[in-house]
Chains A and B, each alone.
Chain A
């Protein structure tokens, strides 16, 4: 297993390097000149523009820019953010934890809610409850997360007369305030995944419950509760895990907009701002981090596969 993890990490590292070069070029294809965005004033002399361009290192050839980025990166120096003038590393350090927390919370919401609903649906298949839950899952799938986020804010502020605290506090700093701030965006982000998890775990559970080995357990006298949860559920988790691994990319993408809506200073919001400001160094690292998170989460999913499915343990 350890060998697999190490190898996957090596592959992940290679992928991140390919991404780096690709991003470096693509970012520079975004229309608009970072220097002009910075100065934001049309009446600036050409000398001032040239001066700033040279200061940001944008006058050098692309390969040289890339080389100096790498030279810094190996020392942990990702350059200065154009828009804030602070080191990219420290800007991101503040914001990364928030996005990771949001993503993890959303996945937890999705898994708990999705599997719970899916299992109830499967156990009471074709009942009124099942039908209501299935319609609910279709709605959950069809509603865009940003709209759901807006709806939540509107609902809590007008009906409940409550708005989440505006100034962000870290999880360690003030756990209660942090969680009240994070709950709504996490739900908004996780609902779509919860809905697809619910649909898949229902059908997967039904398939497992109809299989021969479940009949063997019943023939042994295993109680219905143990048949459902110990044997049915664990076997039906295998495809659900795959689904979560695939969907995690979409989930990460959702953070960009939701952090904007809920005014959370996370990585997503930073990406949004960095694009607006043509802040090349900041954008570069933000997007790379998304890639790294995606790779790590997928590795975690694959590792947990081995726990659920013994057949995967030995496979290479």
Chain B
């Protein structure tokens, strides 16, 4: 049996700050099998982007993976030297970021930026790299790709820039594609195009997709499995259909209820989650969600729950789930 494309086990990432060392990602585990798409969803401060950057080995400044393992097709990535990691980035893992306006180099033409990835990892001549670049641009739906090779990022629209980013990420045929909020900075009609393109690209290349997002509706459309993160931990994980219809963690349930949908009553106030996400310095004791949880009881304040398997790989970090209680979902 081939190992999953990505296997994360007990990943803990911490940053050195003036107030000491803080854990931004705590003991996160999940896996992505061949050709599948997993979404990591959470609000700001949940640690979802840091998880993605940990996989890429691109933590900023003084961030380090302090515990756990990240395996790509069974190969351990934690502890790789810079040089070894560099050969994996771009070749085995491609990544797309949130804001395409700032993510492309302003002083090089886009054709150069795509073929650069090809020439680093593949033994291609200049002409071959150029031909492949034109193919990639065609694939991501850039009209008139040959003349676009010499365009600079400021000459493209937001959606086109994100298409170029996708072309860069797919250039070397990676096994894993990481998309960190790929449509958050785009207009809604363009968002639909880019999400469609990502799906198409994934089907054509057979790459596994790790989608990082804050938007549960995007999760619903794009992913098969979902990992819900809160305050650096995985609080719930499972098949998208199960988690979104039958959440087993109060945070997921509350998040689902606060999403606006066209069929909700205008006369009732929106469902809210009181308070704010705790900072890494002032994590509450017990369950990290307890100060904002409407179901919290005494155990939640003192003891931190583990991830409990509710069956068929649907896991929840909640004492209620361990007791087998179901949450009421009314949308």
Direct A–B touching in the complex (beta carbon < 8 Å)? yes
Interface size classification for chain A:
20 to 34
Contact of B97 among A212, A222, A224, A308 (CB under 8 A): A212
B249 on interface, CB distance cutoff 8 Å: no
Question: Once the chains bind, are B106 and A220 in contact (CB under 8 Å)?
Answer: no
Which B residues between 95 and 142 are near A, CB-CB below 8 angstroms?
95, 97, 99, 102-109, 113, 116-117, 120-121
Chain A residues within 8 Å of B8, by CB? none
Q: How far is the CA of A239 from the CA of B148 in the complex (A)?
A: 28
Q: How far is the CA of A21 from the CA of B152 in the complex (A)?
A: 45
Q: How far is the CA of A313 from the CA of B3 in the complex (A)?
A: 51
Chain A residues within 8 Å of B231, by CB? none
B47 on interface, CB distance cutoff 8 Å: no
Of B11-19, B82-90, B206-214, B285-293, the one with at least 4 CB within 8 A of chain A = B82-90
Chain B residues within 8 Å of A213, by CB? 102-106
Question: Once the chains bind, are A235 and B106 in contact (CB under 8 Å)?
Answer: yes
B239 on interface, CB distance cutoff 8 Å: no
Q: Which of B82, B86, B90, B105 has the most CB of A within 10 A?
A: B105
Q: A221-B91, A235-B106, A309-B106 are in contact. Are A215 and B97 (CB under 8 A)?
A: yes
A86 on interface, CB distance cutoff 8 Å: no
Question: Once the chains bind, are B82 and A224 in contact (CB under 8 Å)?
Answer: yes
Question: Once the chains bind, are B104 and A216 in contact (CB under 8 Å)?
Answer: yes
Question: Once the chains bind, are A218 and B152 in contact (CB under 8 Å)?
Answer: no
Q: How far is the CA of A213 from the CA of B98 in the complex (A)?
A: 11
Question: Once the chains bind, are A308 and B116 in contact (CB under 8 Å)?
Answer: no
Q: A221-B91, A308-B107, A311-B154 are in contact. Are A215 and B86 (CB under 8 A)?
A: no
**Which chain B residue has the least Cβ–Cβ distance from A212?**
B102
Which A residues between 214 and 256 are near B, CB-CB below 8 angstroms?
215-224, 231, 234-235
Q: Could you tell me the distance in whole angstroms from the C-beta of B192 to the nearest C-beta in chain A?
A: 24
Q: Which of A213, A218, A234 has the most CB of B within 10 A?
A: A213
Contact of B99 among A212, A231, A311 (CB under 8 A): A212
**Which chain A residue has the least Cβ–Cβ distance from B83?**
A223
Question: Once the chains bind, are A216 and B58 in contact (CB under 8 Å)?
Answer: no
Contact of A211 among B58, B102, B116, B121 (CB under 8 A): B102
Question: Once the chains bind, are B120 and A220 in contact (CB under 8 Å)?
Answer: yes
Q: A221-B120, A222-B116, A311-B152 are in contact. Are A216 and B105 (CB under 8 A)?
A: yes
Chain B residues within 8 Å of A310, by CB? 106-107, 109, 152, 154
Contact of A235 among B60, B99, B105, B116 (CB under 8 A): B105
Question: Once the chains bind, are A221 and B90 in contact (CB under 8 Å)?
Answer: yes
Q: How far is the CA of A311 from the CA of B103 in the complex (A)?
A: 16
B56 on interface, CB distance cutoff 8 Å: yes
Contact of B103 among A210, A216, A221 (CB under 8 A): A216
Question: Once the chains bind, are B116 and A309 in contact (CB under 8 Å)?
Answer: no
Chain A residues within 8 Å of B234, by CB? none
Q: Could you tell me the distance in whole angstroms from the C-beta of B147 to the nearest C-beta in chain A?
A: 15
B24 on interface, CB distance cutoff 8 Å: no
Q: A212-B103, A231-B105 are in contact. Are A219 and B116 (CB under 8 A)?
A: no
B318 on interface, CB distance cutoff 8 Å: no
Chain A residues within 8 Å of B169, by CB? 219
Chain A residues within 8 Å of B120, by CB? 220-223
Q: Could you tell me the distance in whole angstroms from the C-beta of B128 to the nearest C-beta in chain A?
A: 18
Q: Could you tell me the distance in whole angstroms from the C-beta of A125 to the nearest C-beta in chain B?
A: 11
Question: Once the chains bind, are B168 and A216 in contact (CB under 8 Å)?
Answer: yes
Q: Could you tell me the distance in whole angstroms from the C-beta of B53 to the nearest C-beta in chain A?
A: 9
Q: How far is the CA of A211 from the CA of B107 in the complex (A)?
A: 13
Q: Could you tell me the distance in whole angstroms from the C-beta of A159 to the nearest C-beta in chain B?
A: 45
Pick the 10 closest A-B CB pairs, nearest first. Answer: A221-B90, A220-B90, A212-B102, A220-B117, A221-B89, A219-B95, A213-B105, A212-B103, A310-B152, A216-B103
A-B contact pairs, 16 of them (CB 8 A): A212-B102, A213-B105, A215-B58, A215-B103, A216-B97, A217-B105, A217-B116, A219-B169, A220-B116, A220-B168, A222-B90, A224-B82, A224-B86, A231-B107, A235-B106, A309-B106
Since A216-B165, A221-B120, A308-B107 are in contact, a sample of 16 more A-B pairs with Cβ atoms closer than 8 Å, ordered by chain A residue number, is A210-B60, A212-B97, A212-B99, A212-B102, A213-B106, A216-B97, A216-B105, A216-B168, A217-B116, A218-B58, A219-B56, A220-B168, A221-B87, A224-B82, A310-B106, A310-B107
